[in-house]
Amino acid sequence: LAKTTQPISMDSYEGQEVNITCSHNNIATNDYITWYQQFPSQGPRFIIQGYKTKVTNEVASLFIPADRKSSTLSLPRVSLSDTAVYYCLVGYLPYGGATNKLIFGTGTLLAVQP
């Protein structure tokens, strides 16, 4: 099982770019990397997913090096509303039921200040 490691917390200011890195040294060939955002008293919300290289959507970018042993979530020009916990998830689920392959990191608390 791939174990993930993230920084416990990060601080930033409004308008800055924030990069949060997740380490997953034991990632398997079939594993995908997904990032979620969670606000207090809410369930996590999907941000972005990738397998290798770079993925970009309207809210974030995900950078995955060739060895796939880490990944970096990049949030451009953060605002106060981006203050949340960000989770890295590594794994996949084959059809028909199989051994658990989903491992969440312990999350990174991003605090954005004015």
Partner 1 sequence: DAGITQSPRYKITETGRQVTLMCHQTWSHSYMFWYRQDLGHGLRLIYYSAAADITDKGEVPDGYVVSRSKTENFPLTLESATRSQTSVYFCASSEGGAVDYEQYFGPGTRLTVT
For partner 1, the closer CB: 93 or 111: 93
Nearer Cβ to partner 1 (93/113): 93
- The number of residues in the chain equals 114
Closest contact distance (angstroms) between CB of 14 and partner 1 is 27
Tell me which residue has tokens 């174990």.
Answer: 3
Alpha-carbon distance of 57 to 28, in angstroms, equals: 25
**Residue ranges binding partner 1 (CB under 8 A):** 30, 32, 34, 36, 41-46, 49, 87, 92-100, 102-107
Name residue 89's amino acid: L
Query: CA end-to-end span of the chain, whole Å?
Result: 40
Q: How far is the CB of 92 from partner 1 (least distance, A)?
A: 6
Which CB, 32 or 63, lies closer to partner 1? 32
CB of 84 to partner 1, least distance (A): 13
Look up tokens 């200011």; give the residue.
Answer: 13
CB of 15 to partner 1, least distance (A): 28
Of 48, 106, 42, the C-alpha closest to 75 is: 48
